[in-house]
Amino acid sequence: MERRSFLKVGLAGTALVVVGGAAALGLRAGDRSVKPLRPLFVLSEGAFPVAVAVAARALRETTANPVEIAHRIDSALRFAPRQSQKDLDAVFGLLENGLMGLLLRGSSTPFTLLDAAGQDRALGAWRDSSVAALRGAYHALRKLCLAAHYAAADSFAQVGYPGPSLIKTVPPDIAARAPLAVTEPTAEGMP
């Protein structure tokens, strides 16, 4: 697939075509048994279990809980532009898609139904692809998982990072300073 033509239709558009093709061929759906623990902000219900599966492989040598990582990815994506949100959600769909798997790695088994070695091969196929957009998608997924884990304090002990050197109490909630147009916080930490 030529890079520019892949990008021209957009990842979301490509995902729709491929998902449709997979359905027409009667390919298997993936594992949907992993459910979100709380409402999702950005990721679709279909993308969430794929995010959990990717996180489990990307962070397999760490203390990370893949379901929690998928929720943090969903939370982080709130700050991305709307088109990027759509594209990233579509990327999870593409990774899971049987037709895409058949084209890229000769197997129509959805990502969530692959064994661990198969999942690593699937991610490796994207990393080593001659299609720059797929390589970009691999790095986007990789970075989302890594950032979700290593930004948080529960990763520090394993890598020997001492954490903040100054102790600061949690700042007063912004709602205490003035009327606030939002009624409930949508993130921990700042503001």
Partner 1 sequence: MKTLPPGVTEAQTLTDDVEVGCDVCIIGSGPGGAVAAAVLAQGGKSVVVVDEGGYFTRARFRQREDESYPYLYQDGAQRTTKDLAITIMQGKAIGGGSVVNWTTCFRTPDDVVDRWKLKHGVKDVDVEALKPHFAWAEQRLAITKTPLELVNKNNRTVYDGSKALGHDVDTTNRNVLGCAQTGNCGHGCPIDAKQSMLVTCIPDAIKAGAAVVSRCKVVRVSFEAGRAVAVHARAKDAFGLADTGVAITIKPRVVIVAGGAINSPAVLLRSNAPDPHGTLGRRTFLHPVVASVGVFKERIEGWRGAPQSVAGHHNAHRGEEVGWFLEAGPIHPMLASLALPGFGQDHARGMAQLANLAAHLAITIDGHHDDVVGGRVTVNGDGDPVLDYPIVERQWRAFRDAQKTMAQVAFAAGATEVWTGHDPTLILKSPDDLAKIDGLPWAPCKVGVFSAHQMGGCGMSDDPKLGVVRSQDGRHHQIDNLHVIDGSLFPTSVGVNPQLSIYGLAHLLSTRLLASLAA
Positions that interact with partner 1 (CB under 8 A): 3, 7, 57-62, 76-84, 120, 123, 127, 132-133, 135-140, 142-143, 145-147, 149-153, 155-156, 158-166, 168, 171, 174-175, 177-182, 185-187, 189-191
Q: How far is the CB of 109 from partner 1 (least distance, A)?
A: 20
Side chain identity at residue 137, one-letter code:
A
Q: How far is the CB of 44 from partner 1 (least distance, A)?
A: 18
Own/partner contacts of 147-152, CB < 8 Å, gap of 24 or more, are 147/76, 148/55, 148/64, 148/69, 148/72, 148/73, 148/76, 149/55, 149/59, 149/62, 149/64, 149/69, 149/72, 152/72
Q: How far is the CB of 164 from partner 1 (least distance, A)?
A: 4
Q: Of the two residues 24 and 167, which places its CB atom closer to partner 1 in the complex?
A: 167
Q: How far is the CB of 18 from partner 1 (least distance, A)?
A: 19
Q: Give alpha helix (H) positions in 11-115.
A: 11-24, 47-58, 66-76, 82-96, 98-105
Q: Of the two residues 22 and 67, which places its CB atom closer to partner 1 in the complex?
A: 67
Residues with Cβ within 8 Å of 1's Cβ and at least 6 positions away in sequence, in order, are 131
Q: Of the two residues 26 and 172, which places its CB atom closer to partner 1 in the complex?
A: 172
